[in-house]
Chains A and B, each alone.
Chain A
């Protein structure tokens, strides 16, 4: 059976690519520290020596639209083009291209459906920065085959938070039952407190540093119970109107497992939102 070589949860800041590649007067003052932190974070994936990457994120109204809105969708395609015109326009993101691990997509769909998750699927999916950002930060050579999984954190009505945790638990179980000798990294990205298109956007910090501090503690300690006790679909509006992206962090807590402390934890307080990086090595693998 396949080995889960690493579980990684991260924010997906679309400005990292531009900040890290800019030079001279264009280079922001925080870029060097950010690059140093990302370089260290990248090593946690490299050390796990993965063959395949499962990428959990959320389409930002690129291919997925309100006339046909899935809650959870698995990409099942041999290839994936990536990044969109408006991401190039606003963030300077490059066009990218990935090979798909289609047999793992099929396995996740079959066993996920049988486990009670009515997963949608896509045979032609152009992926966006929610799943390309972690490849830019963690695997810039983008040389590993992927399975993208999208969640709806964006367009109400959303599933309840516990459902994201359960989906993460299912993904972990199903990857571990994949009849393959490959090493799989499961990487998911979300947000801490975040405001987009509202009065609290683009402040000197994230809109709710207290929420961010608690959220990092929940994730780092694997305290699913506490996170579920304090977070609801209604409460997530309070730290910022885009904070439902935290549901993908909760999903990744489900992948990592209840009570599992992260082996690597780092964060960076930036304008607009806090960056946070977590890596778990299941069964001590890669430590």
Chain B
């Protein structure tokens, strides 16, 4: 299990407007493309010098491919990264202010303290 790689996906998608839209519209395709092309890119390092060992397990890639943010929370993905990206993708679909954020909280309401460990 790689909390780091989940976070890396959320982080690199969130900071790119085109990838935010791509992940919203085609989550499974975006996850498959990203794992193949981007997972082993070390940020700020030439692509020829990337890593070789980073990959999702089936649970992680399925959670990302289905926009399953409660599962991401359970897996220990950084909650700030997940929240920020999911607001960017889905807040627009709700008419009331904070409606998406409150639904997000409700869908996580089965979690009690201590929450899943987010240390990487």
Interface residues of A (CB under 8 A from B): 60-62, 65-67, 84-86, 89-90, 154-157, 196-203, 237-238, 241-242, 271
Q: Complex formed: what's the CA distance from A53 to B42 in Å?
A: 34
Would you give the 0/1 interface string for B69-112, flagging 1 where the beta carbon is closer than 8 Å to chain A? 00001000011111110011000000000100110111011110
Cross-interface CB contact of A200 among B43, B105, B114, cutoff 8 Å: B105
A67 to chain B, nearest CB (A): 6
Provide the residues of chain B in CB contact with A61, threshold 8 Å.
Answer: 11, 78, 80-81
Among B17, B104, B105, B120, which residue has the most Cβ atoms of chain A within 10 A? Answer: B105
B78 to chain A, nearest CB (A): 7
Q: Complex formed: what's the CA distance from A56 to B9 in Å?
A: 28
Provide the residues of chain B in CB contact with A65, threshold 8 Å.
Answer: 11, 43
A201–B101 CB distance below 8 A: yes
Sampled A-B contacts (26; CB under 8 Å): A60-B80, A61-B78, A66-B120, A67-B43, A84-B15, A85-B17, A86-B14, A86-B84, A90-B87, A155-B120, A196-B80, A197-B73, A197-B78, A197-B82, A197-B83, A199-B106, A201-B83, A201-B101, A202-B98, A202-B101, A202-B102, A202-B105, A237-B113, A241-B115, A242-B79, A271-B98
B72 to chain A, nearest CB (A): 9
A207 to chain B, nearest CB (A): 10
Provide the residues of chain B in CB contact with A60, threshold 8 Å.
Answer: 80
B30 proximal to A (CB < 8 A): no
B79–A237 CB distance below 8 A: no
Interface residues of B (CB under 8 A from A): 4, 7-8, 11, 14-15, 17, 42-43, 73, 78-84, 87-88, 98, 101-102, 104-106, 108-111, 113-115, 118-120
A257 to chain B, nearest CB (A): 32
Q: Name the residue on B nearest A90 (C-beta).
A: B87
With A61-B80, A85-B17, A199-B111 as contacts: A156 and B119 at CB distance below 8 Å: yes
B80–A201 CB distance below 8 A: no
Q: Complex formed: what's the CA distance from A197 to B98 in Å?
A: 13
Q: Name the residue on A nearest B77 (C-beta).
A: A197
A133 to chain B, nearest CB (A): 16
B7–A66 CB distance below 8 A: yes
Q: Name the residue on A nearest B82 (C-beta).
A: A197
Q: Name the residue on B nearest A271 (C-beta).
A: B98
Q: Name the residue on A nearest B110 (C-beta).
A: A199
Provide the residues of chain B in CB contact with A238, threshold 8 Å.
Answer: 113
Q: Name the residue on B nearest A197 (C-beta).
A: B79
With A67-B43, A154-B80 as contacts: A199 and B105 at CB distance below 8 Å: yes
A237–B78 CB distance below 8 A: no
Provide the residues of chain A in CB contact with B79, threshold 8 Å.
Answer: 196-198, 241-242
Q: Complex formed: what's the CA distance from A154 to B84 in Å?
A: 14
Q: Name the residue on B nearest A89 (C-beta).
A: B88
With A84-B15, A155-B78 as contacts: A199 and B84 at CB distance below 8 Å: no
Q: Name the residue on A nearest B72 (C-beta).
A: A197
A246 to chain B, nearest CB (A): 15
B108–A199 CB distance below 8 A: yes
Provide the residues of chain B in CB contact with A154, threshold 8 Å.
Answer: 80
Provide the residues of chain B in CB contact with A198, threshold 8 Å.
Answer: 73, 79, 105, 108, 111, 115
| Further contacts, 9 of them, CB under 8 A, given A86-B88, A90-B84, A197-B83 | A65-B11, A66-B8, A156-B119, A197-B81, A197-B104, A198-B79, A200-B105, A201-B101, A237-B114
Provide the residues of chain A in CB contact with B7, threshold 8 Å.
Answer: 66
Q: Complex formed: what's the CA distance from A179 to B88 in Å?
A: 47
Q: Complex formed: what's the CA distance from A160 to B10 in Å?
A: 28
Q: Complex formed: what's the CA distance from A60 to B85 in Å?
A: 13
